[in-house]
Amino acid sequence: MADRVTRRDFVKAASASATLATAGAAGLAQGGDQKPAAVAARVPQAELAPGMTIGRMLLGGNLLTHYTHSRDLQYVYTLAARYNTKEKIFETMALAEAHGVNAVVIHTAAGVVDWLQEYRNKLGGKMKWIICPTANVTDDMRAYRDACKMLRDIGADSIYLWGVRGDQLGGVDLGGGRNTPRPDLIAKAVEAAKDVGLPAGVGAHRLETIKCCEENKIPADYYVKTLHSADYPSVNIGHDNRWSYTPEETIALMKGVTKPWIAFKVMAAGAISPRDGYTYAFQNGADFCLSGMFDFEIAEDVSAMNEVLALAGVRNRARPWIA
């Protein structure tokens, strides 16, 4: 893989791709040899936080960082890494932009900060960055505050507390182990993002974290919380296969929550179809859906989302649209 990708090289490579030839390369083609073609569908936009408008579909970062949640199929991790090279990641983000997906949600995995900056600063990408630092959240908050300052300085648009950390601080980790809730540290993490001038969210797999935030009036701007049904064959195998442990309770609690809700793992890492995942999430209260997608899935997924958003059961759902 080449170390450097110029804007012209990128446009030529994107134009040579059958998928990108129909969708264009979003804003990256400006000043290049090719003009972006019209796309069949774009996702609608909504306001996540004051002054921050994003698409109802957000590009998930796990596949871009090769973390596939592939149950016990270990080769899938290598397959994702071989497919999603840096150039392919750039193509994927450009194609997503062309379809109105204008924000990526990602954690600070190795190399992420570098290629995000390259995509925006060298290739002209417009994708917004909603980033969760993986830095530890400790009483002195030094590492986490430093991470927030770094992300602000490189151009992050919003920062949220990583779901893994949110679970731990909410009192129940992802594996179900219980510990003492630390709402004070959740509040400090939110404050650290706000102190650098960015909208701040809280992520969680476990519902206890959202309960902790609501009960303690944590001033998060939005939540990033898992939601998927249990209607898939591998739901009970007990091996990297489930992220929404109490969906009915989540739906009930979120009806009374007045903050925007980004639902993630809506397809249970590929076990549920996009159409079914989006329908379940939006019908039951989510304001946005986080979608991990390979480039060849984007057009179909955007089309599915637009069809779902037009359903009467989604438009007239029980939880009001907060965003």
Q: For residues 149 and 258, what is the distance between their CA atoms, to the nearest angstrom?
A: 28
Q: For residues 223 and 202, what is the distance between their CA atoms, to the nearest angstrom?
A: 5
Contact 157, 103 (CB under 8 A): yes
Q: For residues 159 and 170, what is the distance between their CA atoms, to the nearest angstrom?
A: 18
Instruction: Give the count of beta carbons closer than 10 Å to the beta carbon of residue 292.
Output: 24
What would you report as the CA-atom Rg of the chain, rounded to the nearest whole angstrom? 19
Which residues face 54 on adjacent strands?
46
Per domain, the residue ranges of the chain are 44-315
Tell me the CATH architecture of domain 44-315.
Alpha-Beta Barrel (3.20)
Q: For residues 115 and 110, what is the distance between their CA atoms, to the nearest angstrom?
A: 10
Q: For residues 97 and 286, what is the distance between their CA atoms, to the nearest angstrom?
A: 22
Which residues face 262 on adjacent strands?
224, 288
Looking at the whole model, is its pTM more than 0.85?
yes
Tokens of residue 73, six digits? 């199929």
Contact 102, 302 (CB under 8 A): no
Contact 256, 236 (CB under 8 A): no
Contact 127, 102 (CB under 8 A): yes
pLDDT string in tens for the chain (323-residue length): 444 445 445 444 443 333 343 333 434 433 344 444 457 789 999 999 999 999 999 999 999 998 889 998 989 999 999 999 999 999 999 999 999 999 999 999 989 999 999 999 999 999 999 999 999 999 999 999 999 999 999 999 999 999 999 999 999 987 788 999 999 999 999 999 999 999 999 999 999 999 999 999 999 999 999 999 999 999 999 898 999 999 999 999 999 999 999 999 999 999 999 999 999 999 999 999 999 999 999 999 999 999 999 999 999 999 999 99
